[in-house]
Amino acid sequence: MPDCPELLSLWLYDGDELTRGPAEIADRLTRSVSPVDRYFLWAALGEAWAARCRPAGIPPKAVLDAVESVSSEVLSTDEYSLARARRSEQLDLDHLSPPLPE
C-alpha cells in the first residue's frame, strides 16, 4: 500500500494527532472514489471511533491507569470470522450515534 496522500494526511492529522471526528471522516469516505484515499479514510474512521471509547463516569487519569490502548482494525465481513468475533471484546458503542428516527 502506498503512503497516505499528502493532502488527505494534512486534512486528517496535525502531526500524529487525528483532528477529524467520525462524522467528518465518514462523510468524506462516502464521497471518495480513490481506493487509496478510501483505505486511509477507513483506517482513520476506526482510529476516530477508538479515540471515543472511554468509560463513562471515570476520570481520565483513572482510564489511563486501567487502559493502555484502544485500537481499531477495519475488515470486510469475509475477513472477520465468527471465531474471531467470539474472541473479541464486546463494546457497547450505541452512545456514539444519535437515536434512529421513529
Give per-residue pLDDT as tens, 50-76.
777 766 666 655 555 555 566 677 788
Using pLDDT thresholds of 50, 70 and 90, give the confidence band for residue 91.
low
Whether 47 has a pLDDT exceeding 90, the answer reads no
With 0-12 CB in 10 A as exposed, 13-18 as middle and 19+ as buried, what is 40? buried
The whole-number pLDDT of residue 20 equals 94
Average pLDDT over residues 23-47: 92
Name residue 65's amino acid: D
* Cα distance between residue 59 and residue 37, in whole Å: 36
Q: What is the pTM of this model?
A: 0.64
The Cα-based distances of 61 to 34, 46, 49, 71, 93 in angstroms read: 40, 23, 20, 19, 21
